[in-house]
Amino acid sequence: MLQKKNPAETVRFPPRPCNADGEARKMGLEIEFSGLTIDRIVSLVRLCYGGDVVSESDYRKHVKGTRLGDFTIELDWTLLQKLARTDYLENFGKEIGIPIDSRWQKRVEKVLASTAEPFVPYEVSFPPVTFDKIGELEELRKAIFRMRGKGTSASPFNAFGLHLNPETPSRDISLILRYFQAFLLLYEWLRLSHEINMMREITPFIDPFPERYIDKVMDPSYAPGMETFIDDYIINKPTRNRPLDLLPLLSWLDEQRVRSLLHNELIRPRPTFHYRLPNSSIDDPSWTFTKEWNVWVEVERLAESGDKMTGMQDLYLKRKRHPIKTWTEDWIREMRLLFTE
């Protein structure tokens, strides 16, 4: 049986600590939770890291110039944010020829926000930091816990998540493909390691990839160029709601191609694997960002393991060809070899 990681363990480094330019790779994260007001969250960020507040709206604020970089805090509801950033009601009144007091917009916003807050989380986006500083991100996590922030398990409706954004070590599409294959091979183990909440499993926020697409990607003869890889990814039911969302990375590699295929999808290009699988267990005193990060590192370790990954890929294909045959013992043996190093 695989051993669970100790939540108190130190930050693990992946096999490739540098990016394509030879600089130390970075990791950013986004955490969703409820139970605190946006102003209280902003105060906690400043208490932990310093910085100055820049308010974009009542529901989206920034803390800039902290010792780690810039933070963004927002109510994670696109409709409300859009309304808060525009004079929607006032403009609507002009169109229909009826003057509408701008104060009504604020009232509508507040009604929407009070209705949404029990179900829609606030999201804190951390600045990317080098791996040796991941431990410093825990300061804000502890502060949110002390102020009784509520995570995934606080309510049956809280499908909240933690998103990790490790910088890609290379622009080489063959290496990106290998990391993606490693994620797919470890997917069931990742679900167990993160102890994914049932509500998150049944909501569409972390939908698994289509089986036919996984088969295509796992085929040993699959060696696409960048354009083909992007096309194949997008053709197979493109959505940001995947446990590993590659759209930000693919947009960073070739934004024009991605935009030509996805006209209306909101995508922020960035050189990261957008890993969306973990729960937000912000109200669990034993839970840490470090624990969840160290689980992700196993994906990178497998991707760089050479023969071990080839062996696991062969076993995966064997299972697909012979679903009735016993292959479980071989699979467990390969997993043990990987995790006992």
Q: What is the DSSP string of 112-174?
A: HHHHHTTTS-EEEEPPPEEGGGGGGGHHHHHHHHHTT-B-GGGSTT---BEEEEEBPS-S-HH
User: Residue 88 has what pLDDT?
Assistant: 45
- Over residues 87-116, mean pLDDT: 52
Question: How confident is residue 159, by pLDDT bands cut at 50, 70 and 90?
Answer: confident
Is the per-residue pLDDT at 101 higher than 70?
A: no
The Cα 12–Cα 90 span in angstroms is 53
Q: Is 314 or 303 the better-scoring residue by pLDDT?
A: 303
- Over residues 269-273, mean pLDDT: 96
- Over residues 128-155, mean pLDDT: 94
76 to 60, 178, 265: CA distances (angstroms): 9, 32, 16
User: Residue 58 has what pLDDT?
Assistant: 84
% of the chain surpassing 70 pLDDT: 79
Is the per-residue pLDDT at 116 higher than 90?
A: no
% of the chain surpassing 90 pLDDT: 59
* Residues in CB range of 171: below 8 A, 6 or more apart: 20, 253, 271
- Over residues 208-213, mean pLDDT: 91
* Residues in CB range of 25: below 8 A, 6 or more apart: 14, 16, 17, 18, 19, 130, 131, 166, 167, 169
Tokens, residue 137 = 């991100």
- pLDDT tens digits for 182-209? 999 999 899 989 998 887 887 777 888 9
Tokens, residue 228 = 């083909």
User: Residue 126 has what pLDDT?
Assistant: 98
- Over residues 49-78, mean pLDDT: 92
User: Residue 16 has what pLDDT?
Assistant: 97
Q: Is 221 or 240 the better-scoring residue by pLDDT?
A: 221
| Helices assigned H by DSSP within the chain | 38-49, 78-85, 88-96, 103-116, 138-146, 173-194, 198-202, 211-218, 226-235, 247-253, 255-261, 289-303, 307-321, 328-339
Q: Tell me which of 118-127, 258-267, 332-341 is least confident.
A: 332-341
Question: How confident is residue 76, by pLDDT bands cut at 50, 70 and 90?
Answer: confident
User: Residue 127 has what pLDDT?
Assistant: 98
Is the per-residue pLDDT at 267 higher than 70?
A: yes
Is the per-residue pLDDT at 86 higher than 50?
A: no
Q: Is 81 or 299 the better-scoring residue by pLDDT?
A: 299
